[in-house]
């Protein structure tokens, strides 16, 4: 009894089934289980975890829906190949950030995705941003500004990063396109990982703040070209901080 929820870090689903799903996901994402491996039978999982088989099946069905495992009657439950993982899902994205953090090329691929798309996102946003969108951007920017001065401790940089991603999220949403809105929502944990890593290694956040301000102003002024340039510069610096690009801001005017 007194089985209080001392865990619940990712704390996703309801309760019993969700905890087991989290535990199994951790095993998969940290590499303890690799594609092709077979999980213990449902009856065994139920016995070892002191829960009913129905709850076990609930957890396994979640993992199956997300493409992480495959179940076949008579065969058992096996871990799927990486390409089958439906990792464009917020839950999966969260698990990756939590358990597979600086692993594989995920960090690189997400960053490359941003480099490719965000300048165009900014262009679209400049054409379509409503007053409400500008407000969301400004609020995020203000939080970034407020957390810049207290930049000494690393903990404060987390607040800065939280506001940072809220800023970028507002830009994605300003496109008023369902696909972009969904993508930023789904990739949020992964993007947050990118931003946090970048901001933790960055020597100076003031310049980052200034670049974000320029992007915000460009969108406000409906200057598509300026927005494109500003977004490109932000990503260029991020790439430098991450070690993906050589020159931080070669075309800095």
Partner DNA sequence: GTGTTGCAAATGTCAGACAATTGGAATAGC
Partner DNA sequence: GCTATTCCAATTGTCTGACATTTGCAACAC
| Chain positions contacting DNA, by CB under 7 A | 14-17, 39, 41-43, 46, 51-55, 57-58, 60, 71-77
Give every CB contact of residue 197 below 8 A, 6+ residues apart in sequence: 102, 107, 241, 242
Beta strands in the chain (DSSP E): 69-72, 76-79
Minimum CB distance to DNA smaller for 38 or for 247: 38
The two three-digit tokens of residue 134, written as one number:
């500008």
Radius of gyration of the chain (CA): 21
Assess 160 for contact with its own copies (CB under 8 A).
Answer: no
Return the residue of 180, 197, 208, 230 that touches its own copies, per CB under 8 A: 180
Shortest CB 50 distance to DNA, Å: 7
Assess 229 for contact with its own copies (CB under 8 A).
Answer: no
Assess 120 for contact with its own copies (CB under 8 A).
Answer: yes
CB 81 within 8 A of CB 35: yes
Give every CB contact of residue 205 below 8 A, 6+ residues apart in sequence: 148, 151, 157, 160, 199
Return the residue of 112, 138, 139, 223 that touches its own copies, per CB under 8 A: 112
Going by C-alpha positions, the residue among 7, 74, 19, 8 that lies closest to residue 45 is 19
Distance, in Å, from the CA atom of 46 to the CA atom of 39, rounded to the nearest integer, reads: 12
Assess 242 for contact with its own copies (CB under 8 A).
Answer: no
Shortest CB 206 distance to its own copies, Å: 31
Assess 36 for contact with its own copies (CB under 8 A).
Answer: no
The torsion angle over the Cα atoms of residues 34, 40, 42 and 47, rounded to 10 degrees, is -130
Which of DNA, its own copies, none does residue 183 bind (CB under 5 to 8 Å by kind)? its own copies
Minimum CB distance to DNA smaller for 79 or for 110: 79
Minimum CB distance to DNA smaller for 35 or for 249: 35
Site for its own copies in 44-83 (CB under 8 A): 54, 58, 61-62, 65-66, 83
Mode of pairing for the β-strands spanning 69-72 and 76-79:
antiparallel
Cα angle: 195, vertex 201, 203; to 5 degrees: 115
Which of DNA, its own copies, none does residue 251 bind (CB under 5 to 8 Å by kind)? none
Max CA distance (Å), the chain: 66
Assess 101 for contact with its own copies (CB under 8 A).
Answer: no
CB 143 within 8 A of CB 163: yes
Assess 106 for contact with its own copies (CB under 8 A).
Answer: yes
Assess 135 for contact with its own copies (CB under 8 A).
Answer: no
Using CB under 8 A as the criterion, which residues of the chain lie in contact with its own copies when the complex forms? 54, 58, 61-62, 65-66, 83, 86-90, 105-106, 109-110, 112-113, 116-117, 120, 124, 177-183, 186-187
């Amino acid at each position: 009894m007194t089985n209080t929820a001392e865990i619940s870090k990712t704390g996703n689903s309801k309760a019993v089934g969700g905890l087991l799903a989290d535990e199994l996901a951790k095993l998969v994402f940290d590499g303890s289980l690799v594609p092709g491996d077979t999980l213990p039978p449902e009856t065994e999982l139920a016995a070892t975890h002191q829960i009913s088989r129905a709850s076990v099946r609930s957890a396994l069905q979640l993992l199956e829906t997300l493409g992480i495992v495959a179940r076949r009657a008579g065969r058992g439950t096996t871990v799927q190949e990486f390409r089958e993982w439906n990792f464009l899902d917020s839950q999966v994205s969260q698990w990756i950030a939590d358990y597979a953090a600086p692993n594989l090329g995920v960090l690189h691929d997400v960053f490359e995705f941003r480099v490719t798309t965000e300048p165009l996102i900014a262009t679209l946003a400049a054409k379509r941003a409503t007053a409400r969108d500008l407000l969301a951007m400004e609020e995020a920017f203000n939080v970034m500004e407020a957390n810049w001065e207290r930049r000494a401790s690393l903990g404060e940089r987390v607040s800065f990063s939280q506001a940072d991603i809220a800023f970028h999220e507002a830009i994605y949403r300003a496109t008023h396109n369902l696909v972009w809105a969904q993508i930023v929502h789904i990739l949020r944990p992964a993007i947050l990982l990118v931003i946090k890593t970048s901001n933790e290694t960055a020597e100076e956040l003031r310049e980052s703040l200034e670049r974000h301000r320029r992007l915000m102003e460009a969108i406000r002024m409906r200057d598509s070209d300026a927005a494109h340039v500003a977004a490109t510069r932000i990503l260029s610096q991020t790439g430098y901080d991450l070690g993906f690009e050589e020159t931080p801001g070669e075309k800095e005017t």
